[in-house]
Chains A and B, each alone.
Chain A
Amino acid sequence: MAEEDEILMEVEAVEAVYGDDCIVLNRFPPHLHLHLKPRTADVDSQQFVEATIELRAGPQYPSDPPYVGIIGSKGLDEERQMHLSNSLHDKAQELTSCLMLVALCEDAVEILTSMNHPEGDCPLCLYPLVPEDSHSEVQPFMKLMSCFHCFHCECIVRWLTWIQKQNEASSGTSNTLSSDVDEENVLASGKLYLRKIMGSTAGNCPVCRKVFLAKDIEHVLNLVGSHNADSDVYEKELVEKVLQCDLETTRRQEFEAILKLQQQCGGLIEPPKNNVLYSRISVQDLVREANEMMNVEASEQQHTNQIVREEPESSSSSNQASRRACDARTRHRRGHTGIAEPASGVPPTGSTSGHRRHSGTRKHGKNQSRWQAKPCPKE
């Protein structure tokens, strides 16, 4: 039956879109459970609501719209659950006689995205998490990853600091108990505390007492007043920002062009000997490094530079060598613009790798002359 085939294909489509978040209880007539989250580019610390919905179609589907129900949710009060449930029901009626499973799921995700904020008051200060009137300033808030209970960042960090002081006092390492909680320094020391206990048990949710780990609240660090944040976090953000700016993108593209040229010419093009711009890595170093790479390809694994790894297009050793040499320059160049790199070095993230993929400029002559003329432009 053609119609049944179509419906089976639709179920496959839902599975393909939602992957592990889709549980197929029955293929025909379709009966699905879907775990849906708001669109936050997969940043789950920014997901304040989620819902599991049930889609159960009858044998007459799609002439009869499927039953839509919410079988579980987090962060949604009754009113918002009703809103979700009613909207989906209306949508199902509206789409009667169309294959609508994917559309319903997408609609649910849209609705969740539109109400992706916590409701009610912060349990610690009792003031609203999201001000009712739009004039008030919104205090940063966060959720505990395990239980979805939400707090103002400041409030939870203050509380963690308090626990830390208590623990210190009881273990005798500090005599400064309650009297010395300096409101000003509370945030900074809270972060230090988090770092200290990273990985070990951090505490219990003040609301439900569910144990959370320090890593579950790590995302607070980025939300709480980044102006006085610890240098690590701040630098990380800064480097992220710089890595994704247009200037850096253009620069990467230039390098890609040069790299291509080198590959097409069958190897490294040596820059002029009198190049004085490389103050730290000399040309000879680069060439030596390249040679080493040719000999010991296995050592590739040990290099943590992701730029190399992100481009799996070629495996010839000479190409890798030239790329490595090019890399070294990239890093070096970055140094010239004065970007603060944390000691560990922040590798370009996935999103930046897209920029690195070469996208066109193959004017060899031009690039070559540019390479010769200004191998390391100073911005």
Chain B
Amino acid sequence: MTTSSTQTRKALSKIAQLRLQKELEEWHDPPVGFKHKVSDNLQRWTIEVSGAPGTLYANETYQLQVDFPEHYPMEAPQVIFVPPAPAHPHIYSNGHICLDILYDSWSPAMTVSSICISILSMLSSSTSKQRPPDNDLYVNKCRNGRSPKETRWWFHDDKV
């Protein structure tokens, strides 16, 4: 489902490789609540997220899948939850995340760590375990394995 874009994806540029190696080094000491699942694939990372204590997602773990484009960090990585995705007003059941920094507001100064922290903060501030109102419609549209990066996101609010 989410792998269709991977096959056609271009290999990492030299600069992207250097940068990712550096980031991976720093993940030996990962941000609190995260664990990088070791693999030999530099271009696709799988990261385990633990819901922060005292929030709706406490004691729950989810998998984030991070795919890096050829020109990372100029281009944002593709970040999705591997289903089952946490129920959240900005997270679709197919794992796509409506978070501006992953799309329009991406900056090359951001890192996998900073993305992870943003996602965890988004989870932590949620007050209800609900899917977005347009969940079914959107998930239906993405059935062909479309990447969330091709979605024209409409960032509703920053409440949760």
- Using a CB–CB cutoff of 8 Å, the interface residues on chain A facing chain B are 123-127, 158-159, 162, 178-179, 181, 183, 204, 206-207, 209
Pairwise interchain contact B18-A159, C-beta atoms closer than 8 A: no
Q: Which residue of A lies closest to B74 (CB)?
A: A162
The interface residues of chain B lying within 8 Å CB-to-CB of A207 are 107, 109
Chain B residues 79 to 127 lying within 8 A of chain A, measured CB to CB, are 107-109, 111
The interface residues of chain B lying within 8 Å CB-to-CB of A158 are 15, 74
Residue A125 contacts which of B13, B19, B69 (CB distance < 8 angstroms)? B19
Pairwise interchain contact A127-B75, C-beta atoms closer than 8 A: no
Instruction: Give the size category of B's interface with A.
Output: 10 to 19
Q: Which residue of B lies closest to A149 (CB)?
A: B109
Bound Cα distance A159, B109 (Å): 10
**Which 6 A-B pairs rank lowest in CB-CB distance, beginning with the nearest?**
A206-B109, A123-B109, A162-B74, A126-B22, A206-B107, A207-B109
Q: Which residue of A lies closest to B73 (CB)?
A: A124
Contact digits for B58-87, partner A, Cβ 8 Å, 1 yes 0 no: 000000000001110111000000000000
Q: Which residue of A lies closest to B25 (CB)?
A: A126
Contacts A125-B22, A206-B109 given; indicate if A159 touches B74 (C-beta within 8 A). Answer: yes
The interface residues of chain B lying within 8 Å CB-to-CB of A159 are 74, 108
Q: B23 an interface residue at 8 Å Cβ cutoff?
A: yes
Pairwise interchain contact A183-B13, C-beta atoms closer than 8 A: yes
Pairwise interchain contact A125-B15, C-beta atoms closer than 8 A: yes
Q: List 14 A-B contacts (CB under 8 A).
A: A124-B73, A126-B19, A127-B18, A158-B15, A162-B71, A162-B74, A178-B75, A179-B70, A181-B71, A183-B13, A204-B107, A206-B107, A206-B108, A209-B107
Query: Distance (Å) between the CB of A203 and the closest chain B CB?
Result: 10
The interface residues of chain A lying within 8 Å CB-to-CB of B26 are 126
The interface residues of chain A lying within 8 Å CB-to-CB of B109 are 123-124, 206-207
